[in-house]
Amino acid sequence: MSQIRIAKVFPFGLLLTLAALLLSAAFPAAGEAVLNPFLETRMEEGAQPPYVYEQVDFADSAAIMRFKAKTDTRLTIRCYADSMDEKPLCTAMFLPVTKEYRQNIALTGVHTLFFEVEGEGSFLSWQVFTSQSEIDQAIRAERGTVYEDRVPAAYSSTCPQGGTIEKFTYQAHDYYNGEVLYEKAAFVYLPYGYDASRTYDLLILCHGIGGSENEWGMNSDSSRVKKIMDNLIAREEIRPFIVVTPNGRAGKTGDHSAFYGFDRELRNDLLPALAERYSVDISDRNRCAMAGLSMGGMQTINLGIGKCLDLFSAFGAFSAAPTSNTAAVTASVLNANPDLPVRMFYNICGTEDTIALSSAKAAVNGLDRLTDQLNEKNFIVQLVPGAHDFGVWYLGFYNFARLIGE
């Protein structure tokens, strides 16, 4: 391939803009270890590769390169540092289902980057980041929806326009003891001004392995879940919707294995009982969502997506437990059900979580590259400082509520 320098394929005005960016971003102040955050080259439509981008400063830390492309067949992008005669710095391979590719690279100092493209498709952009958090921030900007790194203090205060919490009992089958009927309890949040003549969206919010319907604390007016919902609704940041915290064990004895049969209780017992008592439409999956912490995050992935994709379209996994399905398993389910699109799949985990971090990562790593169902608009992975605790989980609930209720 012939080398076409950027000056030959970019309009002169755009070249001057890029030059200004390079002069300001490529040479950080002394002592700074900043890696051109969010510096991005968008290739002019119709321009032909390879492209040359000069003097990119990789500072003194490891980097992550993020490529975005669009193809209906196959597309390969090779990035070279300083010379195309050497081995590529990294190679991004795009198949029809692929929209984004990321690769860690170990390069320091100022280098000239060359891009070579083979195949049919559009090489949309490339970016260089110092951390996953920078990538998260860029994706937020692209989506046009900001999710937060902390719950604002005002959203944990008592709201004058407060909703109500009810204890709800229903008949469920003991799926681990002959399916005999027994009475179970759940707590239900009804938004301020609840009106039975209108239909509300529904969120099933699940607990962890050692908890019950009480673990989220949504059993009194002091509930933080209630306060978050009240404030989001009062500020008109989300549509009012109903939240339910059930006991996620599908058996009277409460054995841990009963967590894995909760999909049957959802389908046969809980959802029908909620529809009979409250103004929700369980026949419309786009009005139903499922989320949970730890073991409840596993249930959201394994049971919500894995077995109840016809019932829910939005999913939130907060520090998903070690038995969660891997990204490959989830992708196979999504690919087998193209007629059941995912409205939102949000994930969060603490970076100091010694229980769930590895499993939470395995559940999502590369998932959007394995299925056409997910993209930067409906698939979010958020890593925040924190352990396996409610500091992460309340943040997860706050962000997920905003995402599904906007």
Structure tokens at 88: 């590529």
Q: What is the C-alpha radius of gyration for the chain, rounded to an integer number of angstroms?
A: 24
Query: What pLDDT is stored for residue 37 in this prediction?
Result: 35
**Cα angle vertex 201, ends 333, 397, to 5°?**
75
**Distance in angstroms (rounded) separating the CA atoms of residues 300 and 288:** 12
Query: Kind of pairing, strands 201-206 and 181-190?
Result: unpaired
Query: What pLDDT is stored for residue 85 in this prediction?
Result: 86
* CA dihedral over 116, 143, 327, 373, signed as positive or negative: negative
**Distance in angstroms (rounded) separating the CA atoms of residues 75 and 83:** 21
CA distances from 250 to 257, 374, 406 (A): 9, 30, 32
CA distances from 368 to 131, 288, 342, 363 (A): 19, 22, 12, 11
CB 9 within 8 A of CB 48: yes
**Residues forming CATH 2.60.120 domain(s) in the chain:** 6-130
Q: What is the mean pLDDT of each run of 10 residues along the chain (406 residues)?
A: 28 36 34 34 52 71 76 82 86 74 81 82 73 70 70 91 96 91 97 97 97 95 96 94 96 84 97 98 97 98 98 98 96 97 96 96 94 91 94 96 93
CB 7 within 8 A of CB 44: no
Helical pair 357-364 and 327-335, crossing angle rounded to 10 deg: 30
Would you report the helix, strand and coil content of the chain in percent, each value rounded to 5?
30, 25, 45
Query: What pLDDT is stored for residue 74 in this prediction?
Result: 80
Residues written for the chain: 406
- CA-based nearest residue to 374, from 365, 385, 382, 361: 365
Query: What pLDDT is stored for residue 172 in this prediction?
Result: 96
What are the pLDDT digits (tens) for 281-305? 999 999 999 999 999 999 999 999 9
Q: Does domain 153-405 have CATH number 3.30.530.50?
A: no
DSSP 330: H
**Residues forming CATH 3.40.50.1820 domain(s) in the chain:** 153-405
CA distances from 376 to 98, 306, 314, 357 (A): 12, 21, 15, 21
Backbone dihedral angles phi then psi of residue 368, each to the nearest 5 degrees: -70, -10
Please give the CATH number for the structural domain made up of 6-130.
Answer: 2.60.120
Contacts of residues 133-140 at CB distance under 8 Å and 24 or more positions apart, as own/partner, are 133/383, 134/37, 134/38, 135/64, 135/66, 135/102, 136/381, 136/382, 136/383, 137/38, 138/38, 138/66, 139/376, 139/380
Structure tokens at 100: 């984004």
**Distance in angstroms (rounded) separating the CA atoms of residues 37 and 54:** 16
CA distances from 60 to 34, 82, 128 (A): 8, 17, 13
pTM of the model: 0.72
